[in-house]
C-alpha cells in the first residue's frame, strides 16, 4: 500500500531526500546465497552518477553505497538488505530563492497541495536522486536473475530531443557501445548527434527530452502473470514510475496500432528444435507472458523542468512572479541521459519479481 515500494515477491522500498543525510533502499524477498558486495553497487551507481559528462549536473558527489544488513559472509542471507547512500556536497542554499515560487513543469506545486509542505532543497521525493536507490536495488535483482536464468538486460539512449539514433540491428553491440558512451549512445554517430543537440540546448539555456530503449535477451518463456501482472504491464508500470517518464512502448508500440495483423503476427518456426518466432514485432510477450524472444521497448522522458531561461509563474501567495534559477544551479539539461541506467535497473527488478512469481505459482506441482 505504502507508495514507496515496488515489486510483489522481490520487493524494494526507497527512502530519502536529496538534501538530507542520505538516501537508501530496502530490499526484501531476496533469496539467500546470492553473492553481494558493495563494489558491485558502486560500479552501478557510478554509471548514473552526475558530473560524468558536460551535460549532466555538475554536482560533484560520488555515490558510495553501504550494505547495512542482509549479507552474511559475502552472500545474501535471506534477510532484508538495507543499503545506505550518504548525501554529500548538498548545496541546498542555492535553492533558497526558489522556496516560495511555483516552478512550471516541476512537482513543487503538487507536493505543496498534497502534503502541505515541500522540501525546496532538491525536490524531496520528486528528486531524480531517488533513482540512485533503484540502481542499487537493481544490482541485487541482477544477481538474483543471474542465479536463475541467463537473461541479459541492456538499455541505451535512442533519442535526445529531435536527434535520433539509427535502429540497432545488434542489441549486444549497441549495449557495448552505450556502456562506454558518456551519453549512453548506441553508436558513434548517435553520440555525435546527441552531443550536438545537448550543446545547443545548453547554450540556449533550455532543456530537451529523450527516449531510452531497453532490450532483454535470454529471458525464459513464461514470465509474467495474467491478467494484471503481465510482464508488459509491469515493465510499463516500472518505467512510468521514473521521474519525467511520459510514455512507454513494448515491441512496436504505437506503430503496431497503425499496422495489420497479417504483418504483425510473428509466425512460429522451429529454432534449435523448440518453437520460436521468425520475427519479433510483439516485443517478446504474448498475452503478457514472455515468449522467449528478446523483450524490447522504449520509455519517453520529457525535458528537464529546470531551465536557465526566465519563466513567468506565481509565488505561494498567488502573486505573479518570474522564476530565474540562481546562477550555477545544478540540473541536467536532459534527464533521459541518466535515466538509462535506471531503465536497466527497472528491467532487472521486474525480471527478478517475475522469476520468483513463476517459481511460486507458474509451474504445475503435479506435472
For a second copy, which is the closer residue by CB, 186 or 251?
Answer: 251
| Footprint on residues 62-81 left by a second copy (CB under 8 A) | 66, 68-70, 72-73, 75, 77-81
Q: Which of 151, 140, 136 is nearest to 33 (CA)?
A: 140
Residue 229 CB coordination number (10 Å): 19
Total site size for a second copy, rule CB under 8 A: 157
Q: Are 313 and 102 in contact (CB under 8 A)?
A: yes
Distance between CA atoms of residues 296 and 302, nearest Å: 20
For a second copy, which is the closer residue by CB, 59 or 298?
Answer: 298
For a second copy, which is the closer residue by CB, 169 or 227?
Answer: 227
> In the stretch 162-181, what mask flags binding to a second copy with x, by CB under 8 A?
x-------------------
Task: Choose one: 52-60, 165-173, 184-192, 351-359; the region binding a second copy (CB under 8 A).
Answer: 351-359
**Torsion angles phi and psi, residue 195, rounded to 5:** -60, -45
CB of 317 to a second copy, least distance (A): 10
275 touches a second copy by CB under 8 A = yes
CA torsion angle for 30, 36, 40, 45 (degrees, to 10)?
40
| Footprint on residues 284-303 left by a second copy (CB under 8 A) | 285-291, 298, 300-303
For a second copy, which is the closer residue by CB, 191 or 332?
Answer: 332
CB of 95 to a second copy, least distance (A): 14
Helix (H) or strand (E) holding 142: helix 130-148
Cα distances (angstroms) measured from residue 44 to each of 167, 210, 345, 347 = 26, 21, 9, 14
Order of all β-strands in the sheet with 11-16: 5-6, 11-16, 22-28, 81-86, 65-67
For a second copy, which is the closer residue by CB, 318 or 328?
Answer: 318
| Footprint on residues 14-73 left by a second copy (CB under 8 A) | 14-17, 20-24, 26, 28-35, 66, 68-70, 72-73
**How many angstroms separate the first and last alpha carbons of the chain?**
35
CB of 357 to a second copy, least distance (A): 7
361 touches a second copy by CB under 8 A = yes
Place of cell 544490482: 139
Residue 247 CB coordination number (10 Å): 16
Residue 22 CB coordination number (10 Å): 17
CB of 19 to a second copy, least distance (A): 10
Distance between CA atoms of residues 29 and 318, nearest Å: 47
Distance between CA atoms of residues 201 and 194, nearest Å: 11
314 touches a second copy by CB under 8 A = yes
363 touches a second copy by CB under 8 A = yes
Distance between CA atoms of residues 176 and 181, nearest Å: 9
Task: Choose one: 41-49, 54-62, 110-118, 173-181; the region binding a second copy (CB under 8 A).
Answer: 110-118
Residue 346 CB coordination number (10 Å): 31
The residue from 52, 53, 97, 104 that contacts a second copy (CB under 8 A) is 104
CB of 358 to a second copy, least distance (A): 8
Task: Choose one: 42-50, 91-99, 174-182, 350-358; the region binding a second copy (CB under 8 A).
Answer: 350-358
| Footprint on residues 214-273 left by a second copy (CB under 8 A) | 221-222, 225-230, 232-234, 236-237, 240-241, 243, 245-254, 256-262, 264-270, 273
In the 8-state DSSP scheme, what is residue 207?
-
Instruction: Take residue 197 and report the three cell numbers written for it.
Output: 543537440
The residue from 3, 39, 169, 327 that contacts a second copy (CB under 8 A) is 3
What is the distance, to the nearest Å, from the Cα of residue 31 to the centroid of all Cα atoms in its chain? Answer: 23
195 touches a second copy by CB under 8 A = no
For a second copy, which is the closer residue by CB, 56 or 285?
Answer: 285
CB of 344 to a second copy, least distance (A): 18
Amino acid at each position: 500500500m505504502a507508495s514507496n515500494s515496488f515489486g510483489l515477491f522481490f520487493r524494494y522500498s526507497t527512502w530519502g531526500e536529496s538534501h538530507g543525510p542520505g538516501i537508501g533502499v530496502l530490499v526484501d524477498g531476496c533469496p539467500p546465497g546470492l553473492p553481494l558486495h558493495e563494489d558491485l553497487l558502486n560500479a552501478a551507481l557510478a554509471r548514473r552518477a552526475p558530473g560524468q559528462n558536460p551535460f549532466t549536473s555538475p554536482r560533484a558527489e560520488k555515490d558510495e553505497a553501504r550494505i547495512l544488513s542482509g549479507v552474511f559472509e559475502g552472500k545474501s542471507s535471506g534477510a532484508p538488505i538495507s543499503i545506505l547512500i550518504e548525501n554529500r556536497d548538498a548545496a541546498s542554499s542555492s535553492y533558497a530563492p526558489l522556496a516560495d515560487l511555483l516552478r512550471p513543469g516541476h512537482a513543487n506545486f503538487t507536493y505543496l497541495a498534497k502534503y502541505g509542505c515541500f522540501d525546496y532543497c532538491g525536490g524531496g521525493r520528486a528528486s531524480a536522486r531517488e533513482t540512485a536507490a533503484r540502481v542499487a536495488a537493481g544490482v541485487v535483482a541482477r544477481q538474483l536473475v543471474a542465479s536463475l536464468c541467463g537473461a541479459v538486460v541492456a538499455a541505451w539512449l535512442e533519442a535526445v530531443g529531435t536527434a535520433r539514433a539509427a535502429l540497432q540491428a545488434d542489441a549486444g553491440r549497441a549495449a557495448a557501445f552505450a556502456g562506454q558512451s558518456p551519453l549512453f549512445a548506441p553508436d558513434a554517430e548517435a553520440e555525435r548527434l546527441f552531443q550536438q543537440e545537448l550543446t545547443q540546448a545548453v547554450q540556449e539555456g533550455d532543456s530537451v527530452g529523450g527516449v531510452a530503449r531497453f532490450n532483454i535477451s535470454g529471458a525464459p518463456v513464461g514470465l509474467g502473470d495474467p491478467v494484471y501482472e503481465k510482464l508488459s504491464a509491469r515493465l510499463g508500470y516500472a518505467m512510468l514510475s521514473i521521474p519525467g517518464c511520459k510514455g512507454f512502448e513494448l515491441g512496436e508500440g504505437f506503430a503496431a496500432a497503425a499496422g495489420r495483423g497479417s504483418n504483425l503476427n510473428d509466425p512460429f518456426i522451429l529454432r534449435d528444435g523448440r518453437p520460436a518466432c521468425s520475427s519479433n514485432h510483439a516485443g517478446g510477450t504474448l498475452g503478457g507472458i514472455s515468449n522467449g524472444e528478446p523483450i524490447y521497448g522504449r520509455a519517453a522522458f520529457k525535458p528537464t523542468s529546470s531551465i536557465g531561461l526566465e519563466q513567468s509563474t506565481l509565488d505561494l501567495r498567488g502573486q505573479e512572479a518570474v522564476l530565474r534559477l540562481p546562477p550555477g544551479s545544478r540540473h541536467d539539461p536532459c534527464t533521459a541521459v541518466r535515466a538509462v541506467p535506471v531503465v536497466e535497473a527497472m528491467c532487472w527488478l521486474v525480471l527478478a519479481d517475475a522469476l520468483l512469481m513463476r517459481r511460486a505459482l507458474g509451474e504445475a506441482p503435479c506435472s
